[in-house]
Amino acid sequence: MGRDLRTAVAAVMLVFLAAVPIYALMADDIYVLTYFGRILAFALAAIGLNLVLGFGGMASLGHAMYIGFGAYTVGILSTLGLVNGWLHLIVAMLVTLVISLPVGWIALRTRGMAFIMITLAFAQLFFYVFVSLRQFGGDEGLSLTNLSDFGLLTGNKYAIYLSLLAVLLLTLWFVARLVNSRFGLVLKATRFNARRVNAVGTASQPYRLVAYVISAEICALAGYFMANLNGFVSPAMMSWLVSAEIMVMVLLGGMGTIFGPIAGAAGLLLIEDGLKLMTEHWPLILGPLVLLVVLGMRQGLWGMLLPAHEKARQSGGQH
């Protein structure tokens, strides 16, 4: 019954998100398309972080750095006159790979608070690097005169939104397959006790490093779409506050669940914007509200749909 309910709720949410462009076209309202596109982009980033945080037990406060790499690849290459969309995507993925590998290798040599601080330190390092790039807007950001070129679809908000939704669904499917494979079983085992995994003859570090790199690539994809959706990039996208916000989305939606990050991203952004319309003191309400959900439900909003016997379990990878 619990699984059927979760499947139904997930289907309703996805149908709603797929219907947004239809409403936007009928109402001639591009804002609603951009708004829900933002939710999709953050949901994609939350899925990426959830892979390492929810399934691998690696609490990273630096994943916004990879969002920035994806966004700034579009911004910098477009400014230099290189507007091919596929080039932007390939370069974003390569840059993220080249940086996430050594960062992950260094960070994964530590545990707990040290891991958090190392990921935060690298994120802040690159944050200040991009702040110093005056030719690309510096701390004021960069407005994009040219978006990723995909022929007739270039700059079309509807095409960007639908592409983002398709990538989100593919990523969701990929992560679901990954965490239920042998790779995912080893990764989840390292979350509880990496030493025991090593003791039975399976080296845990390569699995954790590959998961870290994959999660970074997913976040870079989110940044790539954010840049094309908003037509603007800024070092603020790489701030530790954005990393913390994504982490809250994972915790709120359901850490270690497949669909939870999407529910968490939608829930946090919708509640936040709703409270902003009601009062200027919205953080005083949002903070305790999120804290109550996280502390009261171990698997967040998505955990509300779990049967009682499954709520008592603390296993990862629940759909």
**Residue pLDDT, tens place only, 155-208:** 788 999 999 999 999 999 999 999 999 999 999 998 887 788 888 878 888 999
Name all domains of the chain by residue range, CATH numbers in brackets: 2-311 (1.10.3470)
Residue 246 and residue 235: Cα distance in Å, rounded? Answer: 16
pLDDT in tens, 196-220: 888 887 888 899 999 999 999 999 9
In Å, what is the CA distance from 157 to each residue of 31, 49, 105, 224? 10, 26, 38, 14
CB contact at 8 A, 290 and 277: no
Produce one character per residue of 235-259: b if its CB has 16 or more CB atoms within 10 Å, e if not: bbbbbbebbebbbbbbbbbbbbbbb
Rg (CA), the chain: 19
Of 21-30, 118-127, 153-162, the poorest mean pLDDT is in 153-162
pLDDT of residue 1: 53
Owner of token pair 């407005």: 143
Reference 59, options 107, 122, 124, 112; nearest CA is 112
Reference 70, options 202, 167, 3, 166; nearest CA is 167
Average pLDDT estimate for 39-57: 94
Tell the burial category of 12 from Cβ atoms under 10 Å away from its Cβ (0-12, 13-18, 19+).
exposed
pLDDT of residue 193: 79
- Apex 187 CA angle, 185 and 188, nearest 5: 65
pLDDT of residue 300: 77
Q: Which helix (H) or strand (E) holds 316?
A: none
Residue 238 and residue 126: Cα distance in Å, rounded? Answer: 8
- Apex 203 CA angle, 197 and 204, nearest 5: 65
Q: Which helix (H) or strand (E) holds 232?
A: strand 232-233
Residue 19 and residue 148: Cα distance in Å, rounded? Answer: 25
Average pLDDT estimate for 70-83: 92
Chain-centroid distance, C-alpha 27:
29
In a 3-state reduction of DSSP, which class is residue 45?
A: helix
Owner of token pair 């305790």: 288
pTM exceeds 0.85: yes
